[in-house]
Amino acid sequence: MEKFDIEMLKLNKDLEILLKELEDIMDITLNSLINIDVSGIERIKNMDINIYHKTKEIETKTINMILLYSPFAKDLRKLITILKIIIDIDRIGRYSYDISLLIPAFAEKGHLGKPEIIPKMVEQTKKMVRIAIESFINENAELAETLQKEDDVVDQLFSRLENAILSYMMQDKENLERGIKYMLIGKYLERMADHAVNIGDNVIYMIKGERRIKI
């Protein structure tokens, strides 16, 4: 195995570790939100910072590989794809932290009903991120192409969340502030899913050398 391939395997491993940390921060954020645990905010912040630094380490390794090996064609596309993927990963981590900052809004009065839709959105988004990274590591364009349909599920869940929250807000104006916070949380999760789709689109380009036509 050539040195470039060995270094590429190391980068893949780094991305797998980063994915695990991304799933961890999403899980902790969800648990903190469900349990209205403001004590978890600082931990989430530190995890977000750690993810940021890990993406920067991967960025440095990737750039060094481009400079050292002067790859071309698919190998170059792969390294460029990594540079794009880590931007999406960093943003997903940051949205988890953004969600955590909204938790104190529920400390006094609690949730509006049972927060059932948001956990489903978190699980669906985590599934999409796993698919996106797996499609990159296994160079599977067909798998990456499934992300658009998976994103439709998130959009449907967000629509349900909007309807439910609007109903609560119309019932009592005291629900207005918490309702707006829920809307923001749903929007952040929707954006996380969009970043997973971005990763998939870049994987398709890496493998096929062409962009997916967006409808």
Which pLDDT score, from 0 to 100, does residue 215 have?
53
Q: What is the mean pLDDT of residues 79-105?
A: 96
Task: Please state, in angstroms and rounded to a whole number, the distance separating the CA atoms of residues 61 and 67.
Answer: 10
In a domain, 214, yes or no: no
Q: How far is CA 151 from CA 56, 128, 148, 155, 193, in A?
A: 27, 8, 5, 6, 6
Map 38-83 to HEC letters: HHHHHHHHHHHHHHHHHHHHHHHHHHHHHHHHCCCHHHHHHHHHHH
Q: Answer yes or no: is pLDDT of 26 > 60.
A: yes
Output the domain CATH number for residue 68.
1.20.58.220
Q: What is the mean pLDDT of residues 89-98?
A: 97
pLDDT for residue 115: 86
- Domain annotation covers residue 145: yes
* Number of structural domains found in the chain: 1
Domain range enclosing 197: 3-208
Query: Which of these, 106, 113, 102, 107, lies nearest to 167 by C-alpha position?
Result: 113
Residue 180, sorted as left (phi over 0), alpha (psi -120 to 50) or beta, turns out to be: alpha
- Which helix (H) or strand (E) segment holds residue 155: the answer is helix 147-171
Residue 215: inside a domain = no
Any domain includes 142: yes
What pLDDT does 113 receive? 87
Higher-scoring residue by pLDDT: 192, 114? 192
Q: What is the pLDDT of residue 30?
A: 94
pLDDT at 51: 98
Q: What is the DSSP letter of 209?
A: S
Residue 90: alpha-carbon gap to chain centroid:
8
Determine, yes or no, domain membership for 213: no
Residues recorded for the chain:
215
Residue pointed to by tokens 């980068």? 11
Over residues 7-30, mean pLDDT: 94
Residue 73 lies in a domain: yes
- Contact between residue 67 and residue 16 where contact means Cβ atoms under 8 Å apart: no
What are the two backbone dihedrals, phi and then psi, of residue 71, each rounded to the nearest 5 degrees? -70, 160
Confidence of residue 209 (pLDDT cuts 50, 70, 90): confident
